[in-house]
Structure 1
Amino acid sequence: MLLNTIKPAEGATKERRRVGRGIGSGLGKTGGRGHKGQKSRAGGFHKVGFEGGQMPLQRRLPKRGFKSLTAAQNAEVRLGELSLVAVEEIDVLALKQAGLISAGALNVKVIASGEISKAVNLKGIKATKGAKAAIEAAGGKVEE
């Protein structure tokens, strides 16, 4: 096969529409633009969402909701997942290496979900009241 012999499949391409080329073409005279009006003229356009001076839909509807930009930096870890980390001194880096939190996480909080049996020391990681009590009951401690 040679590059100069490659062609599209039969019926894959159509002739482009030649507008304004006489009455016989079916798209002569006005060229599919209809009669008069802003859209029929050269350079006639209006911005997206414009409704002829009426208050546009995107301005009539109320603003609603909020998306936090810092949500991706916060992460949660369950109590039961702490036993998956091999080291006893657990910090943010240890959780990232264990694959429990995303690489972009900066703030981590342990929540009281599941059970913990081994003693762990948390450094630079926050914990809820219930999680803190469970960690201390297992012989560990939380240093924020």
Structure 2
Amino acid sequence: MTSFSLNSLQPQPGARRRKTRKGRGIAAGQGASCGFGMRGQKSRSGRPTRPGFEGGQMPLYRRVPKLKHFPLVNPTTYTVINVGKLAELKAGSTVNLTSLVEAGLLTKPAADQPLKILGSGDLKVKLTVQADAFSEAARQKIEAAGGTCETPV
């Protein structure tokens, strides 16, 4: 096997085919109408219909998501943290994304997404928690410890 260098690389023989030159006479095989037929919407220059167009009928890509069990197109992804991790913080403090990053419980890239508090673990300290979403168990545990749950409007 021979060694190759980047400046000597080239495609295998026969790997690249010449572009078909349309409209260059009948002998070329793609003369006159260039393989698009005689008349009609699909023969016009610029191809006026977009991909997925079905002649005005509700197209498949718009019919299908109305059915159940299809994934969300733009799902909301949260930065999640459990209530058990918040037990390490001192009582009476306000907990939000920036305070969690400063405390070292979250990393900086995770702080780009909205915050959600989950209910795993125990909480004994009273905290004011500011988050975008709470699980039901997390809300109950924070309020049982005497704290409050705040969500932005």
TMscore range, shorter length: 0.5 to 0.7
Q: Among all aligned residue pairs of Structure 1 and Structure 2, give the percentage whose two residues are the same amino acid.
A: 25
Distance 1:8 1:82, change over 3 A: same
Tell me the SS of whatever aligns to 1:103. Answer: helix
Q: In the alignment, which residue of structure 1 is the partner of 2:12?
A: 10
TM-score, length-normalised on structure 1? Answer: 0.56
- 2:45 equivalent to 1:20: no
Task: Quote the RMSD (CA, aligned, Å).
Answer: 4.0
Indicate the SS of the match to 1:98.
Answer: coil
Per-residue deviation at 1:80?
Answer: 2.0
Contact persistence 1:21–1:27 (CA under 8 A):
yes
- Summarize the Cα distance change of 1:82–1:51 in structure 2 as closer, same or farther, 3 Å threshold: same
Q: Distance in 2 between matches of 1:8 and 1:41?
A: 38
What's the counterpart of residue 135 of structure 2? Answer: none
The superposition leaves residues 13-62 of structure 1 with CA deviations (integer Å, 9 ceiling, x where unpaired) of 3211111222222222321112222222335523454433x432269738
Q: How far apart, in 2, do the equivalents of 1:105 and 1:29 lie?
A: 57
TM-score normalised according to structure 2 size = 0.53
* Pair 1:104-2:112 in alignment: yes
Matching residue of 2:38: 35
**How many aligned residue pairs are there?**
125
Do the aligned residues in 1 keep the contact of 2:23 with 2:33 (CA within 8 Å)?
yes
Partner of 1:77, secondary structure, is strand
Name the CA shift for 1:124/1:57 in 2 (closer, same or farther; >3 Å).
same
Gaps of 5+ in 2: 132-137
Structure 1 CA distance for aligned equivalents of residues 113 and 61 of structure 2? 36
Q: Retained in 2: the 8 A contact 1:90–1:121?
A: no
Q: Which structure would you say has the larger Rg?
A: 1
The answer on 1:122 being equivalent to 2:101 is no
